[in-house]
Amino acid sequence: MTFNRILFLCVANSARSQMAEGLARNIFGGDVDVVSAGSMPSQLDPLAVTAMAERGIDISRHRSKAVSDLDAASFDLVVTLCADEVCPVLPGKVKRLHWPITDPARVDPAGDREKALEAFRVARDQIRERMRVLAALRGLGAGPEGREWHSSIRVADLARSARFYAWLLGIWPKEWTHRYATFIRADLNLNFVLVVSDGEELHHDTLYHLGVGVETRSAVIEAYHRAVAAGMPVVKPPRTTWKGTPLHELWLTDPDGTLVEVYARLTPAELAGMPADQQPVFLT
């Protein structure tokens, strides 16, 4: 999804949507045109100004605006931030997101200003983290066209966990050892592995990773080029491996170091071409 003009809406356009506007300008810079408004605009809350100033963002010149004065067709994305109130509506066909953020102005600063300011800080930081995710997703290109998914989790007691997941998934494990149990649900395109958390290093050789199955060898290569274009970390470029389960595979890593395998199963004709030494064959 991409967008170049975004509108943040709440009721009074005094706190949440104003902070969202300031945060968006700070995070997106000049790449995105940002506006905020409300269904019952009042005036900018001084505590919103203070909370934003603590993060080095000046919104003191912001003014409350009415949503009724705006044209939905001029925006690519509308984000509403109401939690317990009735959110304003901007009629028209536009991409919409809803971030329910508790109104910090509900805390009366006359009784305890520091408590009231803390409510604004909480709202500010909740909006900021959502904004960071939105910014990370803006303009993101297509990833691999997955046909199946597999994952593994660490468990303390393999027998107890195998019993639980056999009940949850409605099947016995397809296979198990002293170290892992593998569940296969073809109707869900699911390959799910339980790995014993016994102090041994967990990595792709011990089945601790995530995996996305794609259709063909060409799809693995295409996933590699898409990953490079999107700036995703590549651990091992596309290759065909023969030992264990023969696969065309690409290894990526997520920001926390979790390995992700993009793979395709070999066709009978490809299997017939297995080299005598079974050494991997790189595809790019």
Positions annotated as catalytic residues are: 10, 82, 87
CB-CB contact of 66 with 41 (8 Å): yes
φ, ψ dihedrals at 164, nearest 5°: -60, -50
Computed on alpha carbons and rounded to an integer, the radius of gyration of the chain in Å comes to 25
In this structure, what token pair is assigned to residue 258?
């979790």
Rounded CA-CA distance 252/247 in Å is 15
